[in-house]
Structure 1
Amino acid sequence: MIEEPPILTLRPNFPRPTADQIAAFQDVPTGFVCDAMGGQGALESRIQPIGGGRDIDCRAVGPALVADNGPQEILATMGALHILKPGDIVVSAVHGHRNCSAAGDQFCGMLKNKGAAGFVTDGEMRDYDGIVETGLPAWCTGLSPNSPYSNGPAKVGFGAVVGGVNIESGDLIVADRNGVVIVPFAEIDTVIARLRHVQKLEADLEEKVAAGFCQMPAIEEMIADGRAVVVE
């Protein structure tokens, strides 16, 4: 390059969801949120609760604070700690790099101390027992004891592609044991409105199943009108 980029670029003042918008997704299963977005929105399934969620109650809702590190890097994540606001969920983008930790127990402890609601990465993590002690909900692709570097260049407060989804800082993250779902900032209110409808449908179906319901009316209709056939 003719001119080298800054080692670290920080953007602390991106739009964030309101407290009411965040509250609308509290204790809502990620599956419901995906249904309210046409069945989409989740990161790749390889990004899972650390340890399968067996030792940490991995549930979190909050604004994404995207740290675009690049492979085998952690400088952006360090910068994210500097501008983090309580309730943020730090998203460490390492571009899917494997065999290197994106964060460990001490860093998770500092995130917890500053009020982070969770940590998401498309890379691996380390120091499992120590992370469990912090209690910080975290999602990653596995474990690796290898160390990252902090050379940059790195950007914080912008966006990155993580787990096949473009995430912008300020998008809403809803995460639980099933995975991580991204609600784009501009669509939050629309998804909330749809979510109420999904919740009603789910509640009605749950009540019917509990009472013994075991039918698939759509299949019966397909057989009746010839779209499906039953053969001996």
Structure 2
Amino acid sequence: MDPLIERLAALQVSSLCDADKGLAVIDPQIHAMVPGSRLAGPAFPVVAHDDHLPLLVALRLAEPGSVLVVATDGHRRAVSGELFATEALRRGLAGIVIDGYCRDVAGLRALGLPVYARGSTPMAGSTRDAGTFGGPILIGGVEVTAGDLVVGDDDGLVISPPERLAAALPTAEEIERAEQALLRGMAAGRSLPEMTNLDEHLAALAEHRETALRFTV
């Protein structure tokens, strides 16, 4: 696995967002259909309009480790389900993200491959339009180009060029180390406020001085 992707996969998406407040966050209506999902990988953009043929083609074209990122442009039929997720897992893909709908939720959850969608519907589309691939596409309010990195967990998804995520990574890792220290402190009986500069921060705010809330563990 690429070292950058490996490090991203170990992080919470919230930590990346804390490290870079300008990261492109996908519309939270596109959510994990499989609880406990965590994914990181390069985007393979797909356009599929009420037709799941593009997904079948994409499953053959996408490189192992990649994430199928599917724009349906507001169409309402399922474009992926258990069979496609099983093939994605067999081919070593990292997951599937759909700005639209999937189906076979019970099967997806049993399978465990990360799948994100706006929801589920039992009605699938046709198999008459081969779709388009490679992007750029718009998904959940974010423009996605082939090679952008997708990082997701139960909190949601961010998609960004690799260099921007790489720049945020050291700070995100430090945030997680600090949060683990806070959790250990609370487990040992310390209060969360006492492990921050809360009083100093409140005083500075009251005096309209520049300030930031910090961990002091």
TM-score range (shorter-chain normalised) is 0.7 to 0.9
Matches within 5 A, 1:74-223: 74-98=52-76, 100-152=77-129, 154-203=131-180, 205-206=182-183, 211-214=190-193, 216-217=198-199, 218-223=201-206
Matched residue type, 2:98: T
Matched residue type, 2:124: S
Alignment-derived partner of residue 215 in structure 2? none
Tell me, which stretches of 5 or more residues in structure 2 are unaligned? 210-217
Tell me if structure 2 keeps the 8 A contact 1:96–1:163. Answer: no
Alignment-derived partner of residue 48 in structure 1? 31
RMSD: 2.3
Range with greater deviation from structure 2 (35-44 or 155-164) = 35-44
**Partners of 1:74 and 1:143 in 2: CA distance:** 14
Tell me if structure 1 keeps the 8 A contact 2:11–2:173. Answer: no
TM-score between both structures, scaled by the size of structure 1? 0.77
Deviation at 1:190, TM superposition (A): 1.4
Tell me if structure 1 keeps the 8 A contact 2:136–2:144. Answer: yes
**Partners of 1:200 and 1:106 in 2: CA distance:** 39
Tell me, which stretches of 5 or more residues in structure 1 are unaligned? 1-17, 228-232
Matched residue type, 1:146: M
Matched position secondary structure for 1:90? strand
- Does 2:65 align with 1:72? no
Structure 1 runs of 4+ with >6 Å offset: none
1:50-75 deviation digits (Å, cap 9, x = unpaired):
16x2xxx3111111111122x31333
**Partners of 2:30 and 2:124 in 1: CA distance:** 19
Structure 1 residues 39, 206: CA separation in 2 closer, same or farther (over 3 Å shift)?
farther
Alignment-derived partner of residue 214 in structure 2? none
TM-score between both structures, scaled by the size of structure 2? 0.82
Equivalent pairs counted in the alignment come to: 203
Deviation at 1:153, TM superposition (A): 5.9
